[in-house]
Structure 1
Amino acid sequence: MRALIVSDSHGLTNELVVLKDRHMTDVDLLIHCGDSELIHNADEMLQFISVRGNCDHDQELPTEQVVKVGDKEVLITHGHLYNVKMTLMNLNYRAKELGASIVCFGHSHVAGAEMIDETLFINPGSIRLPRLRRERTYAILDLKDKNASVSFYDINGTKVDSLTTEVQFT
């Protein structure tokens, strides 16, 4: 099972279309973690499972969604309601409440993936305004049995090897 994860596109449209076109045949799921600044039914957002971020005004977008990816429950949220710029503790508690073993979020614009208390946290960074690095990034999650690999790519599709993370669920 493969999922493309993007966040914080802040009004970009062509880039979302390019990402969809580039990966549509090699991913099973498209996830947008909020701050698209587009309406939920904008052509560019079609096919994305998306949530509302602090810069989104479309009330049709939920603040969080839980989806099944393979045999894992995945919590998708923007992160602003959980204070993710300061700590992942609140988001970790929410994941536990919902039985999610993977969390996709944005808000901080800082790309990274890490395992905390048996939960995989993935922030794809931002394809518009990255922080702590130059590359405008998105992520691809590969799930096979108990193994997960998170690969990061810049907006041009070049892999950012230094961010790649591999974990194993117990």
Structure 2
Amino acid sequence: MKCLIISDSHGSEKELEEVIARHQEEVDAVIHCGDSELQQSSPLLQNTYVVEGNCDIPGEFPEDRAEDINGVRVYVTHGHLYNVKMTHVPLSYRAEEKAARLACFGHSHIAAAFEENGVIFVNPGSLLLPRIRPEQTYAMAAFDKNGGAEIQFFDRSSGEEINELRKTFAAY
């Protein structure tokens, strides 16, 4: 299973369209972790698993969702309801409740990947307003048939991988 993970595009339609077009043929799913600031009817969000962020129109998207994508249970939320800028503990509990192997979130605009209690957490950063690092980022998560995973992060403008952010996780 391979998925494209995007968050915090904040109305940047051109940039969002470029990233999706760049990878849509190689992924099984496109995930947007909120703060798209687009309407549900936007053509850019068709065939995309989207959740509501704190800057989105209330009620336009679900607050969170759990999906089975080619054998991998994926939990998606923006993160603001779980206080992810301060701690990952509430998000970790929720991902475990949803029996997720992959938990995708945004809100902090900080690109990161880590594993806790068998759940791989990915924050793709922001397509528009990055924090900590200068690059506007997004992520790709690829799972092998044994459950191992590789998370890669990419510079939005160039499409090139940011090698120092790459993480590999063994099967759980």
TM range (shorter): over 0.9
Structure 1 segment 142-157 matched on structure 2, within 5 A: 142-145=142-145, 146-155=147-156, 156-157=158-159
Q: Compute the displacement of 1:71 (Å).
A: 2.2
Residue equivalent to 2:167: 165
* 4+ long deviations beyond 3 Å: none
Shift of 1:144: 0.5
Structure 2 residue ranges without an equivalent (≥5)? none
Report if aligned partners of 2:33, 2:50 keep a CA contact under 8 Å in 1. Answer: yes
Matched, 1:8 2:11: no
Write out aligned runs for 1:66-81 (5 A). 66-81=66-81
Letter in 1 for 2:114: E
The percent of aligned pairs where both chains have the same amino acid is 43
> 3-state SS of the aligned residue for 1:75?
strand
* TM-score, length-scaled by structure 2: 0.96
Distance 1:19 1:107 in 2: 19
Q: Give how far 1:18 is off.
A: 0.7
Q: Partner letter of residue 72 of structure 1?
A: V
Contact 2:28 2:69 in 1 (8 A): no
Residue matched to 1:115:
115
**Aligned AA for 1:21?**
A
**Aligned letter for 2:3?**
A
| TM superposition shift of 1:72 | 2.1
Deviations 1:18-46 (A, max 9, x none): 11211111111000000000011111212
Give the SS at the match of 2:149. Answer: strand
Partner of 2:131: 131
Contact 1:9 1:126 (8 Å CA) reproduced:
yes
Aligned match of 1:42: 42
Q: Does 1:20 align with 2:13?
A: no
For structure 1, the 5+ residue unaligned runs are none
SS where residue 132 of structure 1 aligns?
coil
SS of the residue corresponding to residue 113 of structure 1 reads strand
Render the CA deviation track for 1:92-143: whole Å, top value 9, x for unaligned: 0011111112100000000010001111000000010000000000000001
**Larger mean Cα displacement after TM superposition, 89-98 or 40-49:** 40-49
**Kept in 2: contact 1:4–1:141 (CA 8 A):** yes
How many Å separate the matches in 2 of 1:26 and 1:9?
21
Matched-pair contact (CA < 8 Å) for 1:39–1:58: no
Residue range with higher mean Cα deviation, 80-89 or 52-61: 52-61
Tell me how far 1:83 sits from its aligned partner: 0.3
Give RMSD over aligned pairs: 0.9
CA-CA distance at 1:60 after TM superposition: 2.8
CA contact (8 A) 1:51 1:64 kept: yes
In 1, the alpha carbon distance for the partners of 2:103 and 2:48 equals 16
Provide TM-score, normalisation by structure 1: 0.97
Superposed displacement of residue 58, structure 1: 4.6
* Alpha-carbon distance in 2 for matches of 1:48, 1:97: 23
